[in-house]
Amino acid sequence: MLLKNSPANGCHRSNSIYGAKEGYTVEITFLLSLNDTKVNYLAHFYLAFDDPDLLIGQFAGDAVKGKRHQNYPRRIQEGILLHRHIDHLTDTHPITSELRQVLRPTLGLYSPVAIDIFFDHILAKTWDQWHQMPLDDFVLKRYKTLEINKEGLPERMQFILTHMVRGNWLGSYQSKEGIQRSFNGLAERVSNGAAFRLASGLLATHFEEVEKAFLMFFPLLIDSSKAKLDTFAAGEQSVAKSR
If phi > 0 it is left, if psi is from -120 to 50 it is alpha, else beta; for residue 175 that is beta
243: Cβ–Cβ under 8 A, 6 or more apart, which residues?
none
pLDDT of residue 163: 87
**How much is the pLDDT for 234?**
81
**What are the helix (H) ranges across the chain?**
21-28, 41-46, 52-60, 74-92, 94-107, 111-125, 135-148, 155-167, 169-172, 176-189, 199-205, 207-242
Domain boundaries, the chain: 21-227
Question: How distant, in Å, are the alpha carbons of 5, 52, 165, 231 from that of 159?
Answer: 22, 19, 10, 32
Residues 81-110 have pLDDT tens digits of 999 999 999 999 999 999 999 999 999 989
In whole angstroms, what is the distance from residue 124 CA to residue 118 CA?
10
Average pLDDT score over residue span 130-134 = 97
SS3 40: coil
pLDDT tier for residue 129 given thresholds of 50, 70 and 90 = very high
Tens digit of each residue's pLDDT (9 = 90 or more) over 35-83: 444 568 999 999 999 999 999 999 999 888 988 898 899 999 999 999 9
